[in-house]
Structure 1
């Protein structure tokens, strides 16, 4: 069954719309995790802060990912500000990530898909490839992106550099902790955000892997409904569980490879 046939069979356009409550959730999901992690780090409880830092990173990824697809329910400026501010906190130019992610949807797992390169690797190769992955998404954006992408990337990288300089120059330990953990997490993106959801799917790239475990989806904030996302990228993350139920009901024959 082709992508277009699936789009026609499954009702999904109503899922694009967010209620006011859903919009608040999507735009503020990162705040409690960031506040708790940074507070624990401030008082020197770095080990206790780690899981909250991980949840902040994951929810930050969810937030900007929705921003890429204009699914936050906010206007153009607020969506831009979400992407910009998360660039500083996540230690990467999110506009560079966005540029490569949009190309990933267009050229999924082809030679033009720089984001998806690690999907064809072995799992340990994808982990080792992480730092190269982070370098390449900036390089590719600089080489192929339009003026707006390049301008935003430079602004974000300069803002990150200022943030890092302040933290290290004034020896602000809890900020140094945050910076180090976020960089480490970014180095794992080629594995967690690409390999886990796309490995062994080259024959039909749009049919990415997905996750149906209730608790696994809860602790990963629904970020591994990747089959659903690739088929219906305009649907906000908060609506993906409902979308998954509709797909299972209307098209039970679709093969669903597990993410983990």
Structure 2
């Protein structure tokens, strides 16, 4: 009897606790609902959203082909960038090849010019040798001086004695020989031919001016006609330039 009563008391205590818990739970739910914010029309205007790009619904099948192919309208305006003159750069190998090609072309042009000059020189020499002027009949000093001027531009040749090439004494010997006057071969020997002339102021056209190293024909006004060297050939020059140190002899043979 006592045991059954105790169990009943325990069950009633548990039931009271259960009812209290359920009551508290219902009260909490009511409180939550009562304090929940209520949305208004004004709040609805603040938070808005929209899609910023169109929705893609087409499935791309060949992404590589689509990414490498570009279609541009023919009349599209790119702001003038399509008309820019972009400089083309060259590699060092290309620059070296062009420089070598240019050097070869210049060398070939120089060789061609040299060959042309050589042919022209040979032609001039041959023409000069073939067109020897005829000396006048009178063998006067003035005639000799004037005749010597016909050989301006004829070539110089060391040891030569003809219009195809002569040295200083060979030239003087040749000119006088055209008038029947025989002279020695060297300039040093010519210093003693004919008769002496005291000074350049007394010299006359056709006189020989000679030193141990050079010989020339006086043409007047302090000038001589002579074969000088390979560069100058046969031409006129001042006595002071041809014989800078003096020490020459003036000889009259006609």
- TM-score, normalised relative to structure 2: 0.26
Report the structure, 1 or 2, having the larger strand content. Answer: 2
Higher relative contact order (CA 8 A, sep 6+): 1
TM-score by length of 1: 0.25
Give the helix-richer structure, 1 or 2. Answer: 1
